[in-house]
Amino acid sequence: MAMPVGRTRIQERNRATILDAALEVFSQFGFRGATLDLIADSAGLSKPNLLYYFASKEAIYTELLGTLMTTWLDPLRALDDIGDPRAEILDYVHRKLQMSREFPRESRLFANEILQGAPRIEAALAGELKDLVDEKAELIRGWIAKGKIADLDPYHLIFSIWALTQHYADFDVQVRAVLGGADPFPGADAYLELMFTRLLERQ
């Protein structure tokens, strides 16, 4: 990947270090609880050095959220009208669960923002996110009309996929406590495939 014009490799590395540290801090404490001092300490940089790269806590948080929205929506964008409907939906379930396994901090960051009323991404939720979900809901309605999957409300199908996959990131401590510390993801993957396979079957 090419570096942005005007930035050196060291500058890019420091920005990446700051963003990774900020992700850790924001995912633990939320926007209100996070401070520039905490982020700088986590990044191993001085606060003045951090402020050289980002003007404020808000600037760091906004950049993280923008990147997160793109990453979070990519699996839904991949839902393809050419593929087999059940296979496409099950693949979406698997990819969302895998994201919860690989990106738990990002999931918690997003959840914290939503719980605060989404003040920094409300426009994206009402715009980019809504447009994409409307598009995929129409795709699912088309599959239903052709008799390829069960007659389900497409919006609530998508909501249920979000809820059942992101739970494993957002409530990781609770899940692992109940399971005695065991890795929940293999069992979750098998369970969700079985559940959604049955849900999508035409009666």
Residue 181 CB: number of other CB atoms within 10 A? 8
CA angle, 198 as apex, 130 and 96 as ends, to 5°?
40
Q: Which is more confident, 3 or 112?
A: 112
Specify whether the backbone of 181 is left (phi greater than 0), alpha (psi in -120 to 50) or beta.
left
Indicate whether 32 and 71 sit together in one domain. Answer: no
In whole angstroms, give the CA distance from residue 90 to residue 75: 11
If pLDDT is split at 50, 70 and 90, which confidence band does 11 have? Answer: confident
- Region 52-64: mean pLDDT is 92
Same domain, 30 and 70: no
Instruction: Examine the domain organization and report whether 47 and 108 are in the same domain.
Output: no
Last residue of a domain, one of 55, 82, 98: 55
Domains: count for the chain? 2
Q: What is the pLDDT of residue 92?
A: 97
Q: Please give the mean pLDDT across all residues of the chain.
A: 92
Are 132 and 188 within one domain? Answer: yes
Q: Which of 55, 77, 92 is the last residue of a domain?
A: 55
Q: What CATH code is carried by the domain that includes residue 51?
A: 1.10.10.60
**CA 83 remoteness from chain centre:** 24
Same domain as 128, residue 100? yes
**Structural element, H or E, at residue 100:** helix 85-102
pLDDT(20) > 80? yes
Whether 163 and 110 share a structural domain:
yes
Q: 98 and 166, same structural domain?
A: yes
Nearest one of 42, 51, 23 to 113, comparing CA atoms: 23
| Residue-level pLDDT at 4 | 52
For residues 50 and 66, membership in a common domain is answered with: no
Give pLDDT, residue 116. Answer: 86
Dihedral-angle region of residue 147 (phi above 0 means left; psi in -120 to 50 means alpha; beta otherwise): left
d(CA 85, CA 25): 39
Whether 68 and 142 map to the same domain: the answer is: yes
97, 127: one domain: yes
Q: Which of 11, 27, 55 is the last residue of a domain?
A: 55
Residues 131, 42 share a domain: no
Q: Check residue 118 and give its pLDDT.
A: 87
| Whether residue 77 sits in one domain with residue 46 | no
Domain that holds residue 153: 62-200
Distance between CA atoms of residues 160 and 156, nearest Å:
6
